[in-house]
Amino acid sequence: MNIILLGPPGSGKGTQAKMIADKYSVRHISTGDILRENVRNNTPLGVEAKKFMDAGQLVPDSLLIDIVKDRLAKPDVQGGYMLDGYPRTIPQAEALDKILPSLKQKIDVVLNIDVPDNELVRRLSGRRMCKCGRSYHVAFNPPKVEGKCDECGGDLYHRDDDKEAAILNRLEVYKQQTQPLIDYFNKQGIIANINGAAEIPKIFEEISATLNKF
Ligand code: ADP
Ligand code: ADP
Ligand code: ZN
């Protein structure tokens, strides 16, 4: 089963992705995590991407398309995967539609997670991340030990793009560049709308009810 997770920044894609990956044995492919790892390791891609990420802007399509093309060809994702944070623009979606047939793959379902803006700001401003990819929230989803990841014990950090100015930018970028994808995938008849303004387990129930059909 191949899944796309669509939704604004802070809608809970990463949080739900961890749970989906465990229950349905699909690989979690987060382009944000891949980019952040490159930034940490100071690779040429990371150096280029950081300028855009810190400002809350999208990294150029050509870089992302190359990342995803490589990742989808790896053996570990052939049993099923979940794309989190890709595609984010129409050109990225069109590129994906070209890549998939050459890999004999298709997307089964796009989970479109909807959350109102004021809730997104509250979630992003309190988010704390681990470099293993898990995210927490200081009030809504705190770790067992303050400042430490439940899963790997790593130190949690506040992302540079989870500060007020970058958050507002990212929400605007989502509306301008990513939201049109809802229409794009609706035309393909593969969208499932998920109410993301609920408690974490409740959202997972709704997602599970959808995925159980595949
Ligand atoms: P995304 O990957 O879509 O940007 P995350 O999964 O990182 O979003 O979640 C954003 C923030 O909101 C994190 O701090 C997370 O702990 C918190 N969060 C996720 N889902 C919920 C929810 N249903 N209710 C409240 N807070 C949530
Ligand atoms: P969030 O879910 O909180 O918006 P991500 O971790 O998915 O954050 O992405 C963080 C940043 O990485 C984005 O703001 C953007 O700069 C960059 N990025 C990730 N995926 C893409 C993509 N598909 N296209 C362009 N930029 C991307
Ligand atoms: Zn961790």
Dump pLDDT digits (tens) for 47-82: 999 999 998 999 999 999 999 999 999 999 999 999
Q: What is the pLDDT of residue 41?
A: 97
Q: Which residue among 27, 50, 88, 123 is the active-site one?
A: 88
Which pair of tokens denotes residue 173? 């970028």
Q: What is the pLDDT of residue 175?
A: 98
Dist CA 31 CA 45 (whole Å): 12
Q: Where are the alpha helices (DSSP H) in 29-104?
A: 31-40, 44-54, 61-72, 90-102
What does pLDDT average to over the chain? 96
Q: What is the pLDDT of residue 159?
A: 92
Q: Which ligand is nearest to the CA of 51?
A: 2
Q: What is the pLDDT of residue 189?
A: 97
| Number of the ligand 1 atom closest to the C-alpha atom of 9 | 4
Beta strands (DSSP E) in the chain are: 2-6, 27-30, 81-84, 109-114, 127-129, 135-137, 191-195
In total, how many domains does the chain have? 1
- The CATH number for 181's domain is 3.40.50.300
Q: Which of 113, 141, 178, 194 to mutate to test the pocket of ligand 1 (most atoms within 8 A of CB)?
A: 141
SS3 (DSSP) at 132:
coil
In a domain, 33, yes or no: yes
In a domain, 26, yes or no: yes
Provide the residue range defining the domain that includes 14. Answer: 2-116+174-211
Whether ligand 1 lies within 6 angstroms of the CB of 204 is answered as: no
| Number of the ligand 2 atom closest to the C-alpha atom of 124 | 3
In a domain, 25, yes or no: yes
Q: Does residue 5 contact residue 83 with C-beta atoms inside 8 Å?
A: yes
Q: What is the pLDDT of residue 104?
A: 97
**Closest-CA residue to 137 (of 5, 1, 11):** 11
Which pair of tokens denotes residue 111? 């989970």
In a domain, 105, yes or no: yes
Q: Has residue 22 got a pLDDT over 90?
A: yes
Q: Examine the residue annotation and report whether 170 is marked as an active-site residue of this protein.
A: yes
In a domain, 14, yes or no: yes
Q: Has residue 145 got a pLDDT over 90?
A: yes
In a domain, 127, yes or no: no
For ligand 1, atom 4: residue with the closest CA: 10
How many A from CA of 54 to the centre of ligand 2? Answer: 10
Q: Which of 5, 6, 15 to mutate to test the pocket of ligand 1 (most atoms within 8 A of CB)?
A: 15
Whether ligand 1 lies within 6 angstroms of the CB of 8 is answered as: no
In a domain, 154, yes or no: no
Whether ligand 1 lies within 6 angstroms of the CB of 184 is answered as: no
pLDDT bin (cut points 50, 70, 90) of residue 165 is confident
pLDDT bin (cut points 50, 70, 90) of residue 85 is very high
Q: Which ligand is nearest to the CA of 156?
A: 3
Dist CA 25 CA 82 (whole Å): 10
pTM of structure: 0.96
Average pLDDT over residues 122-146: 96
**Closest-CA residue to 36 (of 49, 17, 52):** 49
In a domain, 129, yes or no: no
Question: 192 phi and psi, to 5 degrees?
Answer: -120, 120
